[in-house]
Amino acid sequence: MKVRYLFIIAAAILVLMTSAPIYADNGPHGNYTATTDACAGCHRAHTAQGEELLVANTSYDLCLTCHGAAGSGADTNVADGVYMQRDNVVESPDEGVVNRGLRGGGFLNARMDTSWSFTVTSASVTSSHLWNDSSGVVWGSGSIGSGPGSSIKLSCVSCHDPHGGVGANNSATYRILRSTPAGSGNGTTVVSDENNKNYTIDDGSGKYFGQTYDTTLFSDMAYWCTECHDRYLAPADSGHTDSGDSVFAYRHISVGSGCGCHNLHGGPPPTGNPTYAHKPVSCLTCHVAHGTSATMYGNAGSVPWPDGSTLPSGDDRSALLRVDNRGTCQLCHNK
Ligand code: HEC
Ligand code: HEC
Ligand code: HEC
Ligand code: HEC
Ligand code: HEC
Ligand code: HEC
């Protein structure tokens, strides 16, 4: 009898250990039941104020009623780039550390130690993705030889699907990211979700460089960003292989790992910082997704844009980078 019980317990543990993790979209963004109340948080049938029957004037105003600085419907304050405890749900386990920077940085302010000074401050962002439906050039969009890129409108819902369920059979994707970002063309990339939600960065002193991500989603993310910024996708060896494009001819590796043959063909430099030099690379190695407070001067602040224009320059040239100037390069290569 006892032996049989032990066997059953052991079998149950084995099932728990080997069964796939259950991913779910968070907040009011999916997993809807047949009689869900969620729709009423964002839509009105007869008295809507915005297109698509929204309760707010625009979709981004709607997002900010919960996720903005003065919002109260979500713990993630994306305006100030900080995690707070302010909605009426007590999560278990916690989904972030209160007062710590969000992984995406912020749209107006960010809590980062971009100067590697071991103090975290909240500072105005110097660059961010657009979020209010205004237009900008998606650098590198389109195929080889198609110029610096074309202009599109960008807002929260370009990247995120408010209804979630973006993966196969309505399954969750990381941060409800659309598989085909709006305005990107026809490609699809499903970014796999992480298991436990954690919205804040690992490092309590605000260092954004070296942030860890689930390995699969980290690499998925490079393919996802390049649904819009097509020609920034650069596998190993792209630093010494001409892509054939006149603007984006030679490019730093932006997905996967270096060739591993230790600098024979420009592989991971043997003199590099061992903490980072051999880690897989993705766009999120060097960039945040929302906005950064990094500062730029001298050479770093005067790099021309891909269309050759030189303005804006200085801090405005911070390009969502995680560290001031070219700290991102130095942290890996340690020259
Ligand atoms: C968190 C806010 C939010 C919730 C909750 C929500 N929606 Fe939406 N919904 C939006 C936004 C924002 C848009 C406009 C999206 C855009 O402009 O791309 C939209 C668009 C739509 C559309 C038209 C475009 C499309 O995706 O088909 C339908 C239909 C819709 N919602 C139905 C629903 C239903 C039904 C529910 C409840 C099960 C629901 N929504 C819950 C925010 C929400
Ligand atoms: C009614 C309040 C409300 C509105 C409106 C709302 N959200 Fe959320 N959202 C939440 C809550 C609650 C969560 C759970 C995490 C948290 O507490 O911040 C969340 C989570 C998210 C996440 C993370 C999802 C995940 O699975 O990890 C994203 C991304 C997001 N929201 C984007 C948006 C966007 C874009 C809009 C506008 C179209 C929007 N939200 C509108 C309440 C809201
Ligand atoms: C829906 C299309 C779209 C997606 C997806 C997208 N971007 Fe962008 N990106 C744009 C547009 C449009 C601009 C120019 C306007 C702006 O600054 O937002 C831009 C600008 C940028 C800039 C320059 C910002 C500046 O002010 O200097 C960087 C860096 C960038 N994107 C990186 C990324 C990374 C990294 C990802 C993936 C996490 C990504 N993008 C995903 C559309 C997109
Ligand atoms: C260019 C695409 C893009 C746009 C525009 C965008 N997001 Fe995001 N967002 C992302 C990506 C990618 C992540 C994941 C970042 C990470 O984990 O490093 C993210 C993460 C988030 C999160 C989780 C917290 C965090 O900071 O990591 C929330 C909440 C969110 N976005 C809401 C919004 C809202 C609200 C807007 C508009 C005000 C918006 N996003 C605009 C791509 C975008
Ligand atoms: C090794 C670090 C690194 C990686 C990885 C990286 N970037 Fe960048 N990115 C930079 C730097 C540095 C700049 C500033 C301009 C420069 O020096 O070329 C920049 C600038 C940009 C810009 C602004 C336009 C420009 O070229 O100046 C966009 C858009 C961009 N990156 C997108 C991406 C995307 C998308 C990925 C992933 C496919 C990516 N980056 C991966 C370091 C990186
Ligand atoms: C995550 C660590 C990491 C960061 C950050 C990083 N690099 Fe690299 N770098 C690599 C790896 C790995 C390779 C090898 C790529 C390959 O195998 O093609 C490389 C290759 C290079 C090469 C040689 C290219 C070739 O193919 O000959 C140069 C030059 C270079 N990096 C400069 C930079 C600069 C400048 C920056 C900052 C914008 C930077 N790196 C940021 C890891 C990094």
Task: Report which protein residue has its CA nearest ligand 3's atom 13.
Answer: 138
Q: Is the CB of 303 under 6 A from ligand 6?
A: no
pLDDT digits (tens, 9 = 90+) for 25-62: 999 999 999 999 999 999 999 999 999 999 999 999 99
**Cβ contact 125:296 at 8 Å:** no
Nearest-angstrom CA–CA distance, 155 and 178: 13
Task: Report which protein residue has its CA nearest ligand 1's atom 3.
Answer: 42
| Model pLDDT, residue 89 | 86
**Cis bond before residue 93 (omega within 30° of 0):** yes
pLDDT digits (tens, 9 = 90+) for 248-262: 999 999 998 876 544
Task: Report which protein residue has its CA nearest ligand 1's atom 28.
Answer: 52
Q: Is the pLDDT of residue 17 over 60?
A: no
CA 220 to chain centre: 11
Instruction: Look over the chain and give the mean of its residue pLDDT values, rounded to a whole number.
Output: 90
Average pLDDT in the 162-178 region? 96
Characterize 246-282 residue by residue with b for buried, 16 or more Cβ atoms within 10 angstroms of its Cβ, and e for exposed: ebbeebebbbeebbeeeeeebbbbeebeeebbbbebb
User: 195: pLDDT confidence band, cut at 50, 70 and 90?
Assistant: confident
**Cβ contact 67:59 at 8 Å:** no
Nearest-angstrom CA–CA distance, 88 and 75: 9
Nearest-angstrom CA–CA distance, 84 and 299: 37
In the structure, which protein residues have their CB atom closer than 6 angstroms to any atom of ligand 5?
Answer: 139, 222, 225-226, 229, 232-233, 252, 254, 281, 283, 285-287, 303, 305-306, 319, 321, 328
Centre of ligand 6 from the C-alpha of residue 220, in Å: 20
User: 279: pLDDT confidence band, cut at 50, 70 and 90?
Assistant: confident
Q: In terms of Cα–Cα distance, which of 20, 40, 330 is closest to 168?
A: 20
Of ligand 4's listed atoms, the one at least distance from the Cα of 67 is 35
Percent pLDDT > 90 in the chain is 81
Residue 206 burial (CB count, 10 A): 22
Q: Is the CB of 41 under 6 A from ligand 1?
A: yes
Nearest-angstrom CA–CA distance, 67 and 73: 7
Task: Report which protein residue has its CA nearest ligand 6's atom 26.
Answer: 239
Helix (H) or strand (E) holding 39: none
Task: Tell me the CA distances in angstroms from 301 to 297, 313, 318, 334, one per residue in order.
Answer: 4, 5, 7, 21
User: In terms of DSSP H, where are the helices of the chain?
Assistant: 2-18, 59-67, 156-159, 215-228, 283-286, 298-301, 327-333
Instruction: Read off φ and ψ for residue 128, nearest 5 degrees.
Output: -155, 160
Centre of ligand 5 from the C-alpha of residue 286, in Å: 7
What separation, in Å, do the N-terminal and C-terminal C-alpha atoms of the chain show? Answer: 66
Centre of ligand 6 from the C-alpha of residue 164, in Å: 35
**Cβ contact 232:251 at 8 Å:** yes
Indicate the pTM of the whole model: 0.95
| Ligand number, closest to the Cα atom of 262 | 6
Q: Tell me which of 87, 129, 159 to substitute to probe ligand 4's pocket, judged by most ligand atoms within 8 Å of the beta carbon.
A: 159
Q: Is the pLDDT of residue 246 over 50?
A: yes
Average pLDDT in the 108-114 region? 98
pLDDT digits (tens, 9 = 90+) for 113-162: 999 999 999 999 999 999 999 999 999 999 999 999 999 999 999 999 99
Instruction: Read off φ and ψ for residue 236, nearest 5 degrees.
Output: -50, 150
Centre of ligand 5 from the C-alpha of residue 231, in Å: 11
